[in-house]
A and B are shown apart, each in its own frame.
Chain A
Amino acid sequence: MKRFFINLGLLIALAVALAIWVRLQWPVVLALVVLGALWMAFTRHGRQAASVTGVGISTLRQRLGSSAVIVIGIAGVVGVLVALLAMGEGYSETLRKTGNVDTAIVMRGASASEVMSVLDHDSIVQIVQTPGIARDAKGQPLASPELVVAANLPMKGGSADDEGSVQLRGVGDEAWAVRPQVKIIEGRRFNPGMRELDVGKGAAQQFAGLVPGHQVRLGSQLWTVVGVFASGDAMDSEVWGDANVVSDTYRRGSSRASVVAKLANPQAFDAFKAALAANPQLKVDTDTTLAYYAKQSEGMSTVIRIMGITVGLIMAIGAMFGALNTMFAAVATRAREIATLRAIGFRGLPVVVAVMLETMLLALLGGVIGGALAWLVFNGYGASTLAAGTVGKLSFELAVTPALLWTGLKWALAIGFVGGLFPAVRAARLPVTTALREL
């Protein structure tokens, strides 16, 4: 009965410790490590713990196979977890970078995304004249009315019939001005009035035939690709053409989907939004592009995150029991040694600390290996999906950020902690006399 309660208490303490651990920031962890090191260096128990740990680690080589189970098991968990989270991170980072605080996007009210929005010519004229928009050297407002549609194009690496969807943006000269990050890296800009296209770097990688000089079919018409642009954000997955020509092809008349406007300064946004809302002839929603793109990425990045954590959790349970197994075996083989230590006066605590430290060191090693592998293999790895709010494939790169690596390490240490705790407690509780007689 007493044992049962001790075990129960241990489990509850464990749950609390893990809950706190999840929230810990790195400075706190660093402080904990320093405290632990001081304890080991300057107190009697601490020094005992250090010497027992030293013995444990020096015999690791004899248990290479079973110790490798901990290291590789945890490396697997961390690698997969970090890679999946990096996918979500890369995706939302790509969309986040697309927006900023001093650019506003105006769409028809209640439109979930650009492609669902329709603004007629009169509205556009009024929006462009609204105060708060920055002006170029000639005094023209830096606002770009744009038409956003989708186009079917053959995908790379598929059969000719295997068509994918790409977001096609019909723009004027202003589009380049409101998005200074978009730069032509090959060829030239399209000429107004011509069936010419500039393609994003990402789109060029996803779809076949998007090479300057080539012609592609949009519906029944042939368009010529004249340039490739790069922007490092969601625009990379788009294809741009002249707004009037795109509008003809898609029978949209003089309507456009959205107006993207460069604001005079970020503070001007509230006034700009209020001015549009106050205009009785307009029924529009206004957002900064930062907020707009952040909203678009929300759903998908949550899905990826939940998926990553679910997979990670299940794998972590597997790895945890693997670690438990290994450490129980390790404690069993060293039972006599531990009992001898206890017999000559070592207390329980140093033994517990020593076993746990050993497990957590192995776990740390696993975490480092897993994180390093994820970083080496997946950082910058190209992926694509149909993004919410756009109507084309969005290409993005997996981003293994330091924050994610840190999350991975925390997971590794948590697994090591749990995997080491129970064997450690068993080692400390081992009745000295029976253990000495064993074997």
Chain B
Amino acid sequence: MKYFHLIWAALFRRKTRTILTLVSIVAAFLLFGMLDAVRTSFDQAGQSANGAERLQTGSRLSFIQTLPQALETQIAKVPGVKMVTYANWFGGAYQDPHNQVFSFAVAPNYLDAYPEIEVDPAQRKAFDDTRTGALVGETLAQRFHWKVGDKIPLQSTIFPDKSGNKTWTFDIVGIMHAKDKKSAGFYDQMFLLHWKYFDETTPYNRGTVGWYVTRVADVNQADRVARAIDALSANSDHETRTQTEQAATANWMKQLADIGLIVGSIMGAVFFTLLLLSGNTMMQAVRERTSELAVLKTIGFSSRSVLAMVLAESVLLLLIGGVLGLGLAAVLIPGVSAHSGGMLNLPTVGAGSWVLGLVLMVLIGLLVGALPAVRAMRLNIVDALAGR
């Protein structure tokens, strides 16, 4: 530590070069921060304590196939089930069919299965009492400038009403807030309407349910309960498939894209380039300081401490650039999410990304510094001073 000022001075000996190199490092780690946020948002989807105790039961045939509503009472009787609720996909879009809204027709007790969603009790009561009522997520309300009391038309891309009319009218009676902002992405985008109103209005549903959500009393019993639920309809014409919310979401994400591979290969290319680039800078830095290093050795610095100083310099270079880059990513990501109009919802740079990032910085710093440092260590004082 006592040599810190020496290392610092060496680092900024040539300001232009150091700053140019730093910008490259900042860019690399900015990219790392953003891509890692994408990767984590894929990995962490559905992974919460509440999610672990929820089971999703859908048709075994496919996710578009509906189930009879009669299953509800049967599932509720399965030992270990705390509560059961259900929902249907509504397929809503606002104004333009491209403005898709995550809209579900839900049972009256649906929100009880999601304690992480906060609704004002008065608004919840209003929802329960209003047949055409709807609860909307915070972000969604902001996106379309909806407020409580608005009457809004929503077109369903799947379900017309009895006269073939595709536009439904809803009264917005409340706003939903996600308690945990990290997983807020999805809940704050939701639009909930009454399943009963939905079922009575469209001729296409006929009392069926898209999927059941079950909360289990004991997380460790989840597998057993899932099997028991599936056994209820075994060999019938509506066999079910029950998974924990975690497993179901992970499965969707996996089908969407092999994001790990994409992010991995991009970062591979980026860091390889970075290695070369900062390596080149360090080589130059040591080469032009040959005589200074020789002086250091002359006045008594051991070869090993010269090695350590050069290594420290390159690690410091990477750390400054890397921390700036990751910090920049942390600042930019919320802005990106906000401006994407609900298309992207990235968590900000998490602890995991910071740790991984710091490890990478130190590793790359050591790798980059290794060659110049060894060179500096092996420096022959007499030759170096003589300029040979």
**Chain A interface bracket (under 10, 10 to 19, 20 to 34, 35 or more):** 35 or more
Instruction: Assess the B91–A315 pair: CB atoms within 8 A.
Output: no
B256, CB-defined interface residue at 8 Å: yes
B residues less than 8 Å from A314 (CB atoms):
27, 30-31, 34
Q: Specify the chain A residue showing the minimal Cβ separation from B16.
A: A328
The answer, yes or no, to whether A116 is at the interface (CB within 8 Å) is yes
Interface digits, A286-323 against B, CB 8 Å rule (1 contact, 0 not)? 00000000000001000100000011001101110110
B-contact bits for A57-91, CB 8 A (1 contact / 0 none): 00000000110110011001001100110000000
One of B74-82, B102-110, B268-276 at the interface:
B268-276
Q: Mark B272-301, 1 if CB is under 8 A from A, else 0.
A: 111011001101100000000000000000
Closest CB in chain B relative to A7 CB, distance in Å: 14
> Quick check: A315 and B31 within 8 Å, CB to CB?
yes
What are the residues of chain A within 8 A of B31 when measuring CB–CB?
A: 311, 314-315, 318
Q: What CA separation (Å) do A314 and B28 show in the bound complex?
A: 8
Which residue of chain B has the shortest Cβ distance to A327 in the bound complex? B20
Q: Does A380 contact B (CB under 8 A)?
A: no
**A14 at interface (Cβ–Cβ under 8 A)?**
no
* Residue of A68, A109, A111, A317 touching B27 (CB-CB under 8 A): A317
Is A364 part of the binding interface, using a Cβ–Cβ cutoff of 8 Å? Answer: no
CB distance from A154 to the nearest CB of B (A): 11
Q: Are A110 and B270 in contact (CB-based, < 8 A)?
A: no
In the assembled complex, A33 has its CB within 8 A of some CB on chain B: no
Please report the C-alpha to C-alpha distance between residue A149 and residue B283 in the assembled complex, in whole angstroms: 62
A283 within 8 A of B: yes
Residues of A contacting B64 in the complex (Cβ-Cβ under 8 angstroms): 115, 149-150, 391
Q: Does A152 contact B (CB under 8 A)?
A: yes
Q: A325-B24, A385-B257 are in contact. Are A150 and B62 (CB under 8 A)?
A: yes
Option from A303, A317, A318 in Cβ contact (under 8 Å) with B273 = A318
Bound state CA distance, A202 and B35, in angstroms? 29
Name the residue on A nearest B164 (C-beta): A283
Is the Cβ of A299 less than 8 Å from the Cβ of B98?
Answer: yes
Contact of A205 with B by CB under 8 A: no
The listed residue (B63, B157, B234, B239) touching A110 by CB distance below 8 A is B157
Determine if A251 is an interface residue (Cβ-Cβ < 8 Å): yes
CB distance from A256 to the nearest CB of B (A): 14
* A residues in contact with B266, CB < 8 Å: 80, 84, 311
Interchain CB contact under 8 A, B166 and A109: yes
Contact in complex: B273, A112 (CB < 8 Å):
no
**Is residue A165 within 8 Å, beta carbon to beta carbon, of the partner chain?**
yes
Q: Which residue of chain B has the shortest Cβ distance to A83 in the bound complex?
A: B265
Chain B, Cβ-Cβ closest to A110: B166
B61 near A152 (CB under 8 angstroms)? yes
B204 at the interface (CB under 8 A from A): yes
Contact yes or no, A319 B62, CB < 8 A: no
Least Cβ distance of B184 to chain A in Å?
A: 21
- For B270, the chain A residues whose CB sits under 8 A away are 76, 80, 315, 318
Chain B interface category by residue count: 35 or more
Cα distance A382–B308 in the bound complex, in angstroms: 47
Contact B273 A109 (CB under 8 A): no
Is A220 part of the binding interface, using a Cβ–Cβ cutoff of 8 Å? yes
A328 interface neighbour in B17, B27, B166, B258, Cβ under 8 Å: B17
B65 proximal to A (CB < 8 A): yes
A265 touches B (CB below 8 Å): no
User: Contact check: which of B20, B258, B269, B283 meets A325 at CB < 8 Å?
Assistant: B20
Question: Does A65 lie within 8 Å of B283, measured CB to CB?
Answer: yes
Q: Which of A149, A162, A321 contacts B62 (CB 8 A)?
A: A149
Proximity string of chain A (365-391) to chain B, C-beta cutoff 8 Å, 1 when within and 0 when not: 000000000000000000111100001
Report yes or no: B280 in contact with A65, Cβ–Cβ below 8 A: yes
B276–A386 contact, CB under 8 A? no
Q: Given known contacts A68-B276, A73-B277, A329-B284, is B60 in contact with A219 (CB within 8 Å)?
A: yes
Interface centre among B27, B265, B272 (most CB of A within 10 A): B27
B139 at the interface (CB under 8 A from A): no
Nearest-neighbour CB distance to chain A for B197, whole angstroms, equals 19
Candidate in B27, B61, B235 with the most chain A CB atoms within 10 angstroms: B61
CA distance A115 to B91 in the complex (A): 12
- Cα distance A108–B203 when bound, in Å? 14
- Highest count of chain B CB atoms <10 Å: which of A113, A218, A325: A325
- Confirm or deny: A26 has a beta carbon within 8 angstroms of a beta carbon on chain B: no
Residue from A79, A113, A283, A310 in contact with B269 in the complex, judged by beta carbons closer than 8 Å: A79
CB distance from A416 to the nearest CB of B (A): 15
Q: Which residues of B contact A150 (CB under 8 A)?
A: 62-65
Question: Assuming the A-B contacts A72-B273, A116-B158, A315-B31, are A152 and B93 also in contact, with contact meaning beta carbons closer than 8 angstroms in the complex?
Answer: no
| Residues of B close to A80: CB separation below 8 A | 265-266, 269-270
A370 (CB) vs chain B CBs: closest residue: B269
Asked if A209 is at the interface (CB within 8 A of a chain B CB), the reply is: no
Q: How far is the CB of B312 from chain A (nearest CB, A)?
A: 21
Please encode chain A, from 381 to 405, with 1 for each CB lying within 8 Å of some chain B CB and 0 for all others. 0011110000101000000000000
Assess the A391–B98 pair: CB atoms within 8 A.
no
**Residue A140, interface by CB 8 Å:** no
CB of A385 within 8 A of CB of B59, answer no
A66 touches B61 (CB 8 A): no
Chain A 223-265 near chain B by CB (<8 Å), digits 1 or 0: 0000000000000000000000000011100000000000000
- Chain A residues positioned under 8 Å from B272 (CB to CB): 72, 76
**Does chain B have a CB within 8 A of A151?**
yes
Chain A 148-184 per-residue mask, 1 if CB under 8 angstroms from chain B, else 0? 0111100100000011110010000000000000000
Mask of B239-283 contacts with A, CB within 8 angstroms, 1/0: 101000000000110111110000001100110111011001101
Q: Is A324 an interface residue (CB 8 A)?
A: yes
Q: Which residues of A have CB within 8 Å of B91?
A: 112, 116
- Min CB distance A71 to B, Å, is 10
Q: Which of B15-30 contact A (CB under 8 A)?
A: 16-17, 20-21, 23-25, 27-28, 30
Supposing A118-B204, A165-B63, A325-B17 touch, asked if A220 and B239 sit within 8 A by C-beta, the answer is yes
- A321:B24 contact, CB within 8 angstroms: yes
Given known pairs A80-B266, A321-B27, the reply for A249 and B157 (CB within 8 Å) is no
Q: Within 8 Å CB of B237, what residues of A? A: 219-220, 251
Which residues of B have CB within 8 Å of A65?
280, 283
B352 at the interface (CB under 8 A from A): no
Most chain B CB within 10 A, of A66, A165, A219, A385, is at: A219
Residues of B with C-beta under 8 A to A249: 61
Task: Give min CB distance, A115 to chain B, whole Å.
Answer: 6
Alpha-carbon separation in the docked complex, A66 to B25 (Å): 16
Contact of B220 with A by CB under 8 A? no
**B160 touching A110, Cβ below 8 Å:** yes
Q: Are A112 and B93 in contact (CB under 8 A)?
A: yes
Point out the residues of chain B lying under 8 angstroms from A83, CB to CB.
265
A149-B62, A219-B239, A318-B23 in contact; A110/B269 too (CB < 8 A)? no
Contact B273 A149, beta carbon cutoff 8 Å: no
- List of B residues within 8 angstroms of A118 by Cβ: 204
Complex alpha-carbon distance, A249 and B239, angstroms? 12
User: 13 additional contacts, CB 8 Å, given A318-B28, A322-B273, A385-B256?
Assistant: A69-B277, A69-B280, A111-B158, A116-B91, A151-B61, A168-B62, A220-B235, A283-B160, A283-B164, A315-B269, A325-B277, A328-B16, A385-B257
List 3 tightest A-B contacts by C-beta distance, closest first: A318-B27, A150-B62, A110-B166
What residues make up the interface of A, taking CB atoms closer than 8 Å to B? 65-66, 68-69, 72-73, 76, 79-80, 83-84, 108-113, 115-116, 118, 149-152, 155, 162-165, 168, 218-220, 249-251, 283, 299, 303, 310-311, 314-315, 317-319, 321-322, 324-326, 328-329, 383-386, 391, 393
